[in-house]
Amino acid sequence: MKKEAPLIDFCKKCGSIMLPEKKRMKCRSCGYSIKKTTKELKLVEKKQTKKPVVVLEKDSIVLPITDKECEKCSNPRSYYWMQQTRSADEPPTQFFRCTKCKHVWREYK
């Protein structure tokens, strides 16, 4: 039984896909080419449109604020969040971040 050649070839230098160009197969990345013809090769390329990323504010924080005084600058307001830092049967750790100086500290329950 005769072994058929694969329809798609990959570049031996960089591994990118080889595309048919006249009577050669040429790498789209590095330009490496080999002499080879393909009888049936249909290449369909779809371009994906990237949605633009909109940045509203450079330093936007979406954490709740509480009346916890900062240990460092004595600012009366701070952001807070809870995170499970130990095993599941232990209570979560509560973190605070000062709204003024950005100092972060934690409290264990």
Active site residues: 89-90
Over the chain, what HEC string results? CCCCCCCCCECCCCCCEEEEECCEEEECCCCCEEECCCCCCCCCCCCCCCCCCCCCCCCCCCCCEECCCCCCCCCCCEEEEEECCCCCCCCCEEEEEECCCCCEEEEEC
